Structure formats: C-alpha cells, structure tokens
Amino acid sequence: MPAPTPDYLERILAARVYDVAVETPLELAPNLSRRIGNKVYLKREDVQPVFSFKIRGAYNKMVKLSPAELERGVVTASAGNHAQGVALSAQHLGCRATIVMPATTPHIKVDGVARRGAEVVLIGDSYSDCYQHAIKIAEETGATFVHPYDDPEVIAGQGTVAMEILRQHPDPLDAIFIPVGGGGLLAGVAAYIKRLRPDVKIIGVEPTDANAMYLSLKLGERVQLPQVGIFADGVAVKQVGEETFRLCQNLVDEVILVDTDAMCAAIKDVFEDTRSILEPSGALAIAGAKLWSQRNGAQGQTYVAIASGANMNFDRLRYVAEQAEMGEEREAIIAVTIPEKPGAYRDFCSLLGARSVTEFNYRYADDKVAHIFVGLAIQSRSEVAELIGKLADHGLPAVDLTDNEVAKMHIRHLVGGRAAHVTNERLLRFEFPERPGALMNFLNQMGGLWNISLFHYRNHGADYGRVLVGIQVPASDDDAFAAFLEKLGYPYWDESGNQAYQLFLS
C-alpha cells in the first residue's frame, strides 16, 4: 500500500485537538455484534462537546492561525457539525466566526452554532450552495476560510480519531468503517491507519443519494453531483475535496453505499446498545458495517464503526422509527385481493398464522373483490415470499409492496380513496427541501392550470417534503404539462402506472 504524503503521520501526531475535544470511548455493541456474528466496536464521536468529531479538525486548523488572522476572524460553510466545531473553537480562541449553513439544516445544529456566539447565515439547500457565499464573505472581510474537509490541518485533526482507535484496540482488527461527506475524516483515518496497520481495511460509507466519493474513486476523477439527498445532512456534499480525494485514491480499500432505511435501522441498533440517538450521517458507518458483513458472509471478524455525530432534530425521530423496521426487514407491506363476501377477512387472517399485523387498511369499493393493505411483523424477508405463495395457493393473489416508495410514504395513508368519475388522472410524486413555507410555495407554483384530483402531504420530520398529487391532464395538454413540470423545478416521478396506485386509488 503506497504511503501517504510524508508529513501526514507527523501532522496527526502533532495535532492540537484536546484543548477542546475529548478522547472518546471505543465501546463494543453487544446486541448488534451478536446479531451479525462479528464484533462491532463503536467509536463514540457523538459524545464530543459538539456531539461530533468535527471539533477536532476545526480546532487544529484555527489554533495554528496567527494572532493577526484570529483578529480578522474566520468564516466557513457547513451543513452543521463543522459549523459547531468552528463556533466552539472561535469561542475558545476569542475570535469572530461567521457560519454559512444550508437553509435545510436541522434547528438543533443552527441553535448550537448561535449559542456559541457565531453569526449564522442560512442560504441554499446543501453545503455546495453555501460554499461560494462563504468564500465571498472571506474575500470581502479578510477573514480566514476554515474548510470543513479539504485542508491538511483539518484532515490531520480528524486523523486523531484513528490514533485513539489503535491505542484503545491494539488487538487484531479487520476493518474500520467511516462515514464520508467531503472525505476529511476518511482521509485522516486512512492516512494514519495505513502507515501503521496496512492490513486493516478502510471502508468509506456514503448514502446512495450522496455518493460523490464512490463515483469519484470509480471514475478516477472528482465528480460533481447535480444534486444530493439531504436526509444525512452531515454528508450532503456534491463534490469531495482535492486533497481528500488524492489521499483516498491511494489509501481507501472501498466505498460502499447504504440507503435511508439502512441508516434508520442503524440508528435503532445503536440506541438499543447505548441508549444514545445518532443523527443519520452519524449512523452511516454502522449501516455500512452491517451491509459489509452481510454481503461478504463474514463471521467472527472485528470491526470499528465511527459513530460520527448525534445532532438529531427530535421531530425526525418519527420518520426514523417508521423506516427502521423496514431497514431491519422486521416489517413487510403486502397488498392482498380477497373475495368481497362474509368470512373472507377471517379466512385471510387465518392464513397469516401467528404473525402480528402492524397495519390493516380496507374500504369497500367493489361488490366482487376487495383490496386490502396489510403491514406485518416479520423475522426475515424470506417470510414474505413464502406467505405470498401460501396466499396464492388459497386463491388470494398478493403483491409485496415493502420496497415500494409510494406505498410506504403515501398509499398507506390514503387507502380507500377511489373516485369513480375522475378522468385523465395522472399521479405524480414530488419532493422539495423541507423548511417553513415550503409546502405553500409548492402549492403556489402548482397554480390552477389543471384540476387536482388527489393530494397527499405529510410532514415526516425528514429531509424532504413529500407530496403525492393526482392531476387531470387530457392528452391534448401533454406538451404544456411537460413544460410546466420542467419549469416547476422540483424532482418528480410519474407514478401513474404504480401497482399500489392501481390497486387502491385508480
């Protein structure tokens, strides 16, 4: 394995972080370890004073500024955790700090920055949207820009996490799982570990909808994503850093991707073992360790997963709880067609056996058949296929909707909403960044061009507002409707052919 830039080991060993940061514990997660058959140790960066590892890199950069630079102040762009690290560092060093944050940043992070005396500027929907504005402020004021990841001193500060891991766990170690946004933590940990323990695999973990490092390593050059998912707002970065990419190209074994359900399940895993609640990006590494173990059929190995942050808005917990069961494959959703006759429901329930029904939605719509929407507690996904086969053998056709986004987010709340006289209905699913006034803005842009025949919106306390809309659009308006959708500017999906829609609403 090629060595990193010669001075990174030295930089990490000389990093100044403990004026404000603490050496965090490395704790075994016994329940999770037992379930996946491998020892999983959690590096508890969620217990830092700002509830995130970001304090390490921010302070290591700022403590090395000259008195004149500190006098002019600092500015940064951040999705939240780096912002709190800069704010605390500025408070400790007695300098001004201006923090540019996405408008979608959870309030708990914004409040955490403001409480430490920093000036907060909210703009855009992701880190990349804030970066240019922060650079402009730095140029106009002479303040020093403190990069959240693409700076050698920041990378070295984050690398002190690896220094602690090897000191706390001198025994054999198979892999370290690290969340990836811009790549500062991944690069810093890799630079230290690969110099001293090159046998340990370094595995980065990204969300499926914010996979800039994954694509960049795959293509051999830095990729800029057109947009990123912001459920895991701490890693919502459209392009990784130049220096972090250079280091990761040489030192990282692999980057793997996990989805939102997997992150939610990992949050639950950590809660069950520690009674602590991680934020989505803080649980990325745990979700990655689970996926890696399952994919490779690994048993008896030893992993470290960095629990990188715990700045979670309380109102997001509802969404996390709903999705965690799906991510753990402990709940399934099926649509079953049964005869519309007395006793049919009883017969169906008898076929479910001892399974617990978590949800049941039904409304009379036809005098021959009934479509019912059922949630079931399961132990493994294989149970679903077996049950569907069993139902089919008894003349009850069923469809597995567990992975159907429209079914999970909307249809389960709308079952029974058929409209017999609606014509030319098109069903579309929209997403927009969730913030105050976002829904009204969406409705205003929809205007009154076509009749809305169905509308469902629910505030999930998540990263996006999700809207399901039925719009009556005659074929003669196809071109005008396509132009409208393009102008609207929100991500959308045409769900008119969705099986859940056809069964319950069409």
d(Cα 300, Cα 277) in Å, to the nearest integer? Answer: 27
Phi, psi of 138 (to 5 degrees): -60, -45
| Comparison of pLDDT for 373 and 294, the residue scoring more | 294
Range name among 60-69, 253-262, 430-439 with the lowest pLDDT average: 430-439
pLDDT band at 456 (very low <50, low <70, confident <90, very high): low
Which one of 54, 238, 290, 408 is the catalytic residue? 54
List, for residues 209-252, the tens digit of each pLDDT value.
999 999 999 999 999 998 888 788 889 888 999 999 999 999 99
Q: What is the mean pLDDT of residues 18-30?
A: 98
d(Cα 457, Cα 165) in Å, to the nearest integer? Answer: 45
Q: Which long-range contacts (CB under 8 A, 24 or more apart) does 162-167 make?
A: 162/12, 162/188, 162/189, 162/190, 162/191, 162/192, 162/193, 163/12, 163/13, 163/192, 164/23, 164/24, 164/26, 164/43, 165/26, 165/43, 165/189, 165/193, 165/304, 166/192, 166/193, 166/196, 166/197
> Residue 273, Cβ neighbours under 10 Å: how many?
18
Q: List the structure tokens of 173.
A: 């170690």
Beta carbons of 376 and 356 less than 8 angstroms apart:
yes
**Residue matched to tokens 């990006």:** 281
List, for residues 87-98, the tens digit of each pLDDT value.
999 999 999 999
* Per-domain boundaries in the chain: 1-324, 329-403, 418-504
Q: What is the mean pLDDT of residues 4-23?
A: 88
R_g over Cα of the chain: 25
| Comparison of pLDDT for 405 and 424, the residue scoring more | 424
Give the per-residue pLDDT at 206: 98
pLDDT band at 80 (very low <50, low <70, confident <90, very high): confident
Whether residue 359 is predicted with pLDDT greater than 90 in this model: the reply is no
pLDDT band at 469 (very low <50, low <70, confident <90, very high): confident
Whether residue 202 is predicted with pLDDT greater than 60 in this model: the reply is yes
Domain at 418-504, CATH homologous superfamily = Biosynthetic Threonine Deaminase; Domain 3 (3.40.1020.10)
Range name among 149-163, 165-179, 316-330 with the lowest pLDDT average: 316-330
| Comparison of pLDDT for 359 and 64, the residue scoring more | 64
| Mean pLDDT score of the chain | 87
pLDDT band at 402 (very low <50, low <70, confident <90, very high): confident
pLDDT band at 400 (very low <50, low <70, confident <90, very high): very high
- Taking alpha carbons only, the member of 8, 156, 185 closest to residue 82 is 185
Percent of the chain with pLDDT over 70: 88
pLDDT band at 259 (very low <50, low <70, confident <90, very high): very high
Whether residue 500 is predicted with pLDDT greater than 80 in this model: the reply is yes
Q: List the structure tokens of 280.
A: 């989505």
Residues 153/158/163/169 CA torsion (nearest 10 deg): -170
Q: Which amino acid is residue 506, in one-letter code? A: S
The CATH class, in words, for 1-324 is alpha beta
Give the per-residue pLDDT at 307: 98
Range name among 59-73, 101-115, 130-144, 443-457 with the lowest pLDDT average: 443-457
For 251, the enclosing helix (H) or strand (E) is: helix 242-251
Q: What is the mean pLDDT of residues 469-478?
A: 87
d(Cα 251, Cα 285) in Å, to the nearest integer? Answer: 18
Give the per-residue pLDDT at 11: 95
| Comparison of pLDDT for 88 and 434, the residue scoring more | 88
Give the per-residue pLDDT at 364: 55
Q: Is 290 a catalytic residue?
A: no
Whether residue 18 is predicted with pLDDT greater than 90 in this model: the reply is yes
What's the CATH number for 329-403? 3.30.70.260
Beta carbons of 469 and 430 less than 8 angstroms apart:
yes
d(Cα 203, Cα 199) in Å, to the nearest integer? Answer: 12
Which one of 89, 308, 408, 453 is the catalytic residue? 308
d(Cα 256, Cα 149) in Å, to the nearest integer? Answer: 20
d(Cα 406, Cα 424) in Å, to the nearest integer? Answer: 20
Whether residue 436 is predicted with pLDDT greater than 60 in this model: the reply is no
How many residues can be counted in the chain? 506
List, for residues 107-158, the tens digit of each pLDDT value.
777 888 889 999 999 988 767 778 889 999 999 999 999 999 999 999 999 9
- Cα first-last separation, the chain: 58
Whether residue 476 is predicted with pLDDT greater than 70 in this model: the reply is yes
d(Cα 394, Cα 351) in Å, to the nearest integer? Answer: 9
**Residue matched to tokens 């708990």:** 108
SS (H, E, C) 104-139: CCCHHHHHHHHCCCCEEEECCCCHHHHHHHHHHHHH
Give the per-residue pLDDT at 299: 95
Q: Is 308 a catalytic residue?
A: yes
